[in-house]
Structure 1
Amino acid sequence: MLTTIISYAALYFVLWWLCLFIVLPFSLRTQEEEGEVTLGTVSSAPTGRHMRRAFLRATLLTAILFAIYLGITKGLGYTIDDVPRIVPNYVYGNG
């Protein structure tokens, strides 16, 4: 039981980081786009505080993907061992 909880937490953590890097570029405004470049920074540096929104979006996306994962594994009973049966086995050549 504890192993399952720790495994789910680890999977959620890794999935959350992946989703964070996916959602980071969305709604990002640079200093150049705003027309206010702070002295000592590059013009492509972000303006404002968009990280809170990025964290919330990553959390929402992760929750949706994790729910889909749980639905497939717990609801439908699929495991990683079932993947070869889902993907067709194509045999090339005559043998």
Structure 2
Amino acid sequence: MQPVSVAAIYLLFWVLTLFAVLPFGVRTSEEAGEDKVEGQANSAPVNPRLGRKLIWTTVISAALFGLFWLNYVYEWVRVEDVPGWR
């Protein structure tokens, strides 16, 4: 597999994992018991902790990509193994 392909596939894993991780631990100002700022959306998080979420995203996506890579190398599941393929 080409290095550019590896980077692109890892980036896909990373972005999809980010969208899965973003909602965890989010509390609105109402849930936190704090006053809303004028013009603030009701669903806006008080402290989104983006640094932690980026770290978790990197760790989880690296693990998932590692499984993908191992499957690519050892061919545990191939396209021919998927039901309905040809």
| TM-score, normalization by structure 1 | 0.76
Q: Does 1:28 align with 2:26?
A: yes
- Give me the whole-angstrom Cα distance separating, in 1, the residues matched to 2:63 and 2:28: 29
Please give the root-mean-square deviation of Cα atoms over the aligned residues, in Å: 2.3
Give the drift of 1:70: 1.0
Asked which structure has the greater CA Rg, the reply is 1
Matches within 5 A, 1:1-95: 4-36=2-34, 37-74=36-73, 76=74, 78=75, 82-84=78-80, 86-88=81-83
Partner-residue secondary structure (3-state), 1:12:
helix
Q: Write out the 4+ residue segments of structure 1 that deviate beyond 3 Å after TM superposition.
A: none
| TM-score, structure 2 normalization | 0.83
Unaligned runs of 5+ in 2: none
Mark the CA change 1:88 to 1:42 in structure 2 (over 3 Å): closer, same or farther: closer
